[in-house]
């Protein structure tokens, strides 16, 4: 818990009233986990930078939550500050020259739809990913052979008390990673796209959605892909399926029978159920292939995987 003075400083910086002991489980796509010490919203880069200035001065751990995908929160919660982006930080707009400006809090489906309306192609493969633009940039999210880093032209980031505009050539994008300045938060990005007919773009978006629905457990509570694809020809899903992980159950959590790299909350699963399944999946894959799978899902709070070696 933050004391009253720190709580008030954070609210003043954010321009919003915070929520103490906020239930994080309901804010994640997986639907499990405990509370955060404080949840607060902020609606501009200036206010986000001000919040980060308070966290730096007070040595407060912070985390930005988007749509809650790719996140597993410990059952005991997290003793830190969780920030949600709103207002102008969720705004998307087409710019001259075939560019799209997207706030970090905007969802990828919304950004893709804005691009389609403006006749800009490039985001279609990412249109069905249940995440935000900021999270996608920070982890270089990708699907169907396209990574968002392929489109990034500029990234605005907030640091304690300031914001900076970074050019793409100053950033290093790699598999599920972007090297950003330490302690920064993405607030906006500009994507360089290609003109095309809106009808063709929307048709491509629909095709990618159909493929996703056919290959993943859409409509069930998951955190998205649980493990990163390791180097080599076989994906994490293939390795997990070959190791007999499909359908494994622990408590109310189960490995999807549709795609082995997804864990499903069958209603009432705990974070302990999920991490236990992840441990068993990693153990089986390591014994089968000698490969140690690394998590793609972000673990928040006092929760960790067991070593497999």
What are the Cα distances from residue 133, in Å, to 1, 26, 152, 293?
30, 21, 11, 26
Categorize the per-residue pLDDT at 1 as very low, low, confident or very high, splitting at 50, 70 and 90. Answer: low
221 and 264 in contact (C-beta within 8 Å)? yes
Q: 10 Å Cβ neighbour count for 26?
A: 10
Please state whether the predicted TM-score (pTM) of the whole model is above 0.85: yes
Q: Under a CB-based contact definition with an 8 Å cutoff, are residues 240 and 255 in contact?
A: yes
**Mean pLDDT along residues 92-111:** 97
Mean pLDDT, residues 180-194: 97
**Cβ density class 215-233: b for 16+ within 10 Å, e for less:** ebbeebbbbbbbbbbbeee
**Structural domains present in the chain:** 4-87 (3.30.43.10), 91-215 (3.30.465.10), 217-309 (3.90.78.10)
List residues with catalytic annotation. 176, 225, 296
The crossing angle, in degrees rounded to 10, of helices 108-117 and 198-215 is 150
Q: What pLDDT digit, counting tens, does each position of 202-228 carry?
A: 999 999 999 999 999 989 999 999 999
pLDDT of amino acid 86: 97
Give the tokens for residue 125. Answer: 């493969």
**pLDDT over 70 percentage in the chain:** 100
Name the one residue in this structure whose structure tokens are 């859409």: 218
Query: Average model confidence (pLDDT) for the chain?
Result: 96
């Amino acid at each position: 818990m933050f004391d009253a003075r720190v709580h008030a400083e954070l609210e003043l910086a954010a321009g919003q009233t915070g929520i103490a002991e906020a239930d994080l489980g309901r804010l994640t796509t997986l639907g499990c986990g405990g509370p955060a010490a404080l949840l607060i919203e902020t609606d501009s880069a200036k206010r986000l930078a001000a919040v980060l200035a308070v966290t730096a001065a007070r040595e407060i751990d912070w985390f930005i939550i988007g749509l809650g995908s790719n996140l597993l929160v410990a059952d005991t919660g997290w003793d830190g500050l969780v920030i949600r982006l709103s207002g102008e930080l969720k705004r998307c707009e087409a710019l001259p020259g075939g560019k799209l400006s997207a706030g970090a809090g905007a969802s990828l489906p919304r950004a893709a739809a804005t691009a389609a309306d403006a006749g800009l192609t490039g985001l279609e493969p990412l249109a069905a990913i249940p995440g935000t633009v900021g999270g996608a940039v920070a982890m270089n999210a990708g699907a169907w052979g396209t990574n968002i880093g392929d489109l990034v032209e500029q990234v605005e980031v907030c640091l304690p008390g300031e914001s900076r505009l970074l050019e793409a050539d100053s950033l290093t994008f790699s598999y599920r990673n972007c090297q950003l300045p330490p302690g920064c938060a993405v607030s906006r990005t500009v994507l360089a796209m290609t003109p095309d007919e809106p009808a063709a773009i929307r048709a491509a978006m629909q095709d990618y959605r159909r493929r996703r629905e056919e290959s993943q457990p859409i409509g069930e509570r998951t955190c998205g892909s649980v493990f990163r694809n390791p180097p080599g020809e076989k994906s994490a899903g293939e390795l997990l399926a070959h190791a007999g992980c499909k359908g494994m159950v622990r408590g109310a959590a189960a490995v999807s029978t549709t795609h082995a790299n997804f864990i499903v909350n069958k209603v009432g699963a705990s974070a302990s159920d999920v991490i236990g399944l992840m441990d068993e999946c990693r153990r089986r894959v390591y014994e089968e292939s000698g490969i140690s799978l690394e998590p793609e899902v972000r673990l928040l709070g006092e929760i960790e995987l067991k070593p497999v070696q």
